[in-house]
Chain A
Amino acid sequence: MRRAFALLLVAGLACGVLSTRAAGDGLDELMRTLAARHHGEVDFIEQHFLALLSRPSESSGVLIYDAPDRLEKRTLEPRAESLLLSGNSVTVQRGTHRRTVDLQAHPQILPFVESIRATLAGDRDALERIFRVEYSGSAARWMLILEPRAAEVGKMVRQVRIDGSGAVLRHVEIFEADGDRSLMTLRERAAP
């Protein structure tokens, strides 16, 4: 009995070690796959589930990525608006009004933008600098669970879940600290 328990413990440990190693390998492989893609352009539909509102609000548009560090979220509906992440600055443009903020000065924005950009860039270091990263699944169907490391980064966002297959992202789900949630569904661009 004691021996069986010890065996179980060892097996469990080994399993744990093995699965961790497998996760590491899988994450590295995923990162390599993602990093190989230098440009991407997908349609998105985003649903916001806010406690304040009795029904989810919805927006849609195009998400454009250019390696190594440019990510643009161009919302077309219900109102044209663009969010551009480039280097360390985030620029939000609404009509003729444009506002730029510095990421370092506003770390609470990081989960909203850097989670997607670092994933698309296949930059594991950048991801792990900011988040605790949990990988699961397979190359064909994978999921990343990102949790902010620093308290100030996690001020507004508790968790980000990104899933996809191969080099393609399917969903980005953001769980905000106040219980609100948004779900962004990505699709290859419809032929024009």
Chain B
Amino acid sequence: MTRRAAIIACWGCVLAIAAILVARAHYITDLSAFLPARPTPAQRLLVDQLREGPASRLILVALEGADPALRAGLSRTLARRLRADPQFLTIGNGETEFLETDRTLLFEHRYLLSDAVTAEHFTRAGLARAIGRTIEDLASPAGMFLKPLVARDPTGEMLHILDELAATAAPAMRDGVWMSAGGERTLLAAQTAAAGSDTDGQERAQGAIRAAFQAAVRADANPAAPRVRLTMSGPGVFAVTARAHIKQAAMRLSIVSSCLVVLLLLSVYRSIPALLLGLTPVATGALIGIAAVALGFGAVHGITLGFGITLIGESVDYSIYFFIQSRAATHGSDPTWWRRRLWPTVRLGLLTSVCGFASLLPSGFPGLAQLGAYSISGLIAAAAVTRFVLPELVPAGFVVRDLTPLGARWARRLEAIRRGARAGLWATALGIAVIALAVLVGKRERLWDKELSSLSPVPAADLRYDALLRADLGAANVLDLVVISGPDEESVLRGAEQVAPVLRSLIDAHVIGGFDSPANFLPSLATQRARQASLPEAAALRENLRGATADLPLSSDRLAPFLADVEAARHGALLAPQALAGSSLSAGLRALILAGGDHFSAILPLHAADPAAPDIDVARGADALAAANLPNTQLLDLKRESDALYADYLHEAIRLSLAGLVLIVVLLAITLRASGRVARVLAPLVLAVLVVAATLAACGVQLTILHLVGMLLIVAVGSNYALFFDAHRRTGDEAGAPLMLSSLLVANLCTVIGFGLLSFSKVPVLEALGLTVAPGAWLALVFSALLTPAPAGA
């Protein structure tokens, strides 16, 4: 077996193993990329909520156009259709009507469900008070509905239950449905059965809403009905649009940029085999990168697949350097020239990049750690392929187009500039650095965007519309929650009941406007049992009733059905969750209880005290809960918690990147062994990063973790440029200079095209990466060219 065959066979084996690993890898696209590797219980709770809590299941629906009355009719038809669809747990549109089955269920079990049921309630005084109120109610506008129930329910338990179930604070109403205060939008709130992280399920649910709306419009006799527009918002809607968006944007951009890069390389190489060979390092690197992540982490995050390939774009450069610089006529016949003269520089560039990306590895943000692992293994693999495999694959006597004339032209221009400016270049560089630093220091307060939403692929306009709808709905803020954890449904329901008095005191203090609780739909068995036990025996009740009604206009003779119902309730079965099946109570309960194996959570969303100011004073709420000292009960501010988590990641990433910079300095100091050279290699890179960061900051862009990753990329790509100039200066190889320069130009052009196109993306994360890397890479080349002095011999 020849050496060539052995190398190719070895490469093939590695590729095959990697392919198997990639094919068998487990891919996860949910939010666990954001869950810290070792989460605290609060962080796990947060991610659970983001993944499947009520906030994640909420779809806000707005109808706009035509007149409010027409929209109100459509809202009712739409809600009726959606309520019949099992894909939705609840549909709120302001109609407070309960289904017939619900009313029967509530009425039959009123003595288990009403929190007014205590032993005191059925004493002579208690009965007199309750029945007195019912008599007053009879004279009220609601009295007409009450009248038929009085004989069985003189204490008004049914009305009490309905009052408790009705939302405490509701959005503005018009024509019987929710409407924005200005009347321009009719609103519905849908809770999906699918978890927020189930993007396919969310997509189906949104399709169902669209279809139901179209059917409602068709069924409406009003000719203006087709003028009503449907819009949806909420986390699930964002997830679905973002997925389509990213898919589309990534696909379109990568097709366009691939075409451009391929055209460029074709015009340079003038050889299709060379083009294909040139792509082998990238392809190998991408495959090995995923395989390494799968091996090291057990599962690959979607974010790694999405961004990884852009991070190893540098590996295209390796083959460009190889092809163009090996072309030099003087070396073309010497196969070891590449290995002896170019490889050490490429290797050092690779090591520099590895040091940079290694700073991502210890990140507590699994997404970032995976990107680090992917980049490192991908780059090493690509470099190894360029070093060992590519020379063996190239057919004998193969040469690409000679770019010496192009390079020579640029070399002369560069020389002219360098000679004209002399020492002024370094002074200018220093000046630029000072200005950039001044800008960054001036903006330091608002330099970094510490909100998780900055990573969100959702366009700002959509977020503003979402905020508008949430303000319209006012009460339906599901970002502040009390979460109670426990081993079973009964324990979390009991927890929800225990926290209710604390929350009611917060309502009285105007800290919150109200709260939802699963216990409103179904009290715990313990509570039901206690209520049942508080019902008096038939004889005692009859006696108390007679006494209570003595002074009332309602004779106890008419209340025999009441006595019979109470007696039945004393011996009836308790209400189990299964008994609620099919009712809207069950839907309400399921929306507020998360079940996962032996871990249950009850969710109590808090309503803002003032719909106009939806922010709740979480600190006061947390204090009140802490004072009550309830076990397994926590107040969770989803936005604040997730921002805090992200801010932690960001701070850690900044610290680690600085550590990476130190590592690069150490690496360069060891290999270059001269402080002047280290400074010359680093200066262009640091300058490029500073200028890009300062320009972004000056333009009002707040930097995110993706900008930081972009800066690492500038250093990774740019280090090759600086090292090539440095190597050239040291060797003084005049014949090779034009080819080196043209290879750098081609490589840089590829990078600028690829990332430049990303910066046109509407997806913020892609845009951030593009806006950082494209100008940064270009600047790194310009600064490297200008700041490296001409070879000593010239």
Which A positions have Cβ atoms within 8 angstroms of B? 46, 48, 50, 52-55, 57-59, 73, 75, 78-79, 81, 83, 87-89, 91-92, 94, 96-103, 105, 109, 112, 156, 176, 178, 180
Q: A73-B141, A102-B95, A112-B144 are in contact. Are A91 and B173 (CB under 8 A)?
A: yes
| A113 closest partner in B (C-beta) | B141
User: How long is the Cα–Cα vector from A100 to B173 in the complex, in angstroms?
Assistant: 8
Contacting pair A57 B76 (CB below 8 A): no
Question: What number of B residues sit within 8 Å (CB to CB) of A?
Answer: 35
User: How long is the Cα–Cα vector from A57 to B72 in the complex, in angstroms?
Assistant: 37
The smallest beta-carbon distance between A45 and chain B, in angstroms, is: 11
User: How long is the Cα–Cα vector from A81 to B133 in the complex, in angstroms?
Assistant: 13
Cross-chain contact of A59 among B94, B139, B558 (Cβ < 8 A): B139
Contacting pair B175 A156 (CB below 8 A): no
Q: A59-B139, A75-B140 are in contact. Are A87 and B174 (CB under 8 A)?
A: yes
Contacting pair B175 A48 (CB below 8 A): no
Contacting pair A99 B166 (CB below 8 A): yes
Asked if B554 is an interface residue, CB under 8 A from chain A, the answer is yes
Within 8 A of A (CB), among B546-600: 553-555, 558
Q: Enumerate 20 A-B pairs (CB-CB under 8 Å) in ascending A order.
A: A48-B138, A50-B147, A52-B147, A52-B150, A52-B558, A54-B554, A57-B136, A59-B136, A59-B140, A83-B141, A87-B174, A89-B173, A89-B176, A101-B96, A102-B176, A105-B76, A105-B176, A109-B144, A176-B144, A178-B147
Cross-chain contact of B174 among A81, A89, A105 (Cβ < 8 A): A89
Asked if B631 is an interface residue, CB under 8 A from chain A, the answer is no
Q: Give the chain B neighbours of A83 by CB distance below 8 A.
A: 141
Q: Give the chain A neighbours of B170 by CB distance below 8 A.
A: 98
Give the 4 A-B CB pairs with smallest separation, nearest first. A102-B176, A89-B176, A83-B141, A53-B553
Q: A52-B150, A57-B135 are in contact. Are A92 and B97 (CB under 8 A)?
A: no
Within 8 A of A (CB), among B203-233: none
Additional A-B contacts beyond A52-B150, A98-B166 (20; CB < 8 A): A50-B147, A53-B135, A53-B554, A54-B554, A75-B140, A79-B137, A81-B141, A87-B69, A88-B176, A91-B173, A94-B140, A94-B163, A98-B170, A101-B96, A101-B97, A102-B76, A105-B95, A105-B97, A176-B144, A180-B147
Q: Give the chain A neighbours of B176 by CB distance below 8 A.
A: 88-89, 100-103, 105
Q: Give the chain B neighbours of A81 by CB distance below 8 A.
A: 140-142
Within 8 A of A (CB), among B63-101: 69, 72, 76, 94-97
Asked if B273 is an interface residue, CB under 8 A from chain A, the answer is no
User: How long is the Cα–Cα vector from A169 to B395 in the complex, in angstroms?
Assistant: 107
The smallest beta-carbon distance between A189 and chain B, in angstroms, is: 21
Interface string of B297-311 (1 = CB under 8 A from A): 000000000000000
Q: Give the chain A neighbours of B69 by CB distance below 8 A.
A: 87-88
Q: Give the chain A neighbours of B177 by CB distance below 8 A.
A: 102
Asked if B428 is an interface residue, CB under 8 A from chain A, the answer is no
The smallest beta-carbon distance between A159 and chain B, in angstroms, is: 15
| B559 closest partner in A (C-beta) | A52
Contacting pair A79 B175 (CB below 8 A): no
Asked if B168 is an interface residue, CB under 8 A from chain A, the answer is yes
Interface string of B138-170 (1 = CB under 8 A from A): 111111100100110000000000110010101
Q: Give the chain B neighbours of A58 by CB distance below 8 A.
A: 139
Contacting pair B143 A48 (CB below 8 A): yes
Q: A100-B94, A100-B173 are in contact. Are A57 and B163 (CB under 8 A)?
A: no
Q: Give the chain B neighbours of A75 by CB distance below 8 A.
A: 140-141
Q: Give the chain A neighbours of B139 by CB distance below 8 A.
A: 46, 48, 57-59, 78
Q: Which of A97, A109, A156 has the most CB atoms of chain B within a 10 A radius of its CB? A: A97
Q: A100-B94, A102-B76 are in contact. Are A92 and B141 (CB under 8 A)?
A: yes
| A59 closest partner in B (C-beta) | B139
The smallest beta-carbon distance between A127 and chain B, in angstroms, is: 20
User: How long is the Cα–Cα vector from A59 to B558 in the complex, in angstroms?
Assistant: 23
Q: Give the chain A neighbours of B174 by CB distance below 8 A.
A: 87, 89
Within 8 A of A (CB), among B161-199: 162-163, 166, 168, 170, 173-177
Q: Give the chain A neighbours of B166 by CB distance below 8 A.
A: 97-99
| A99 closest partner in B (C-beta) | B96
Q: Which of B94, B135, B170 has the most CB atoms of chain A within a 10 A radius of its CB? A: B135
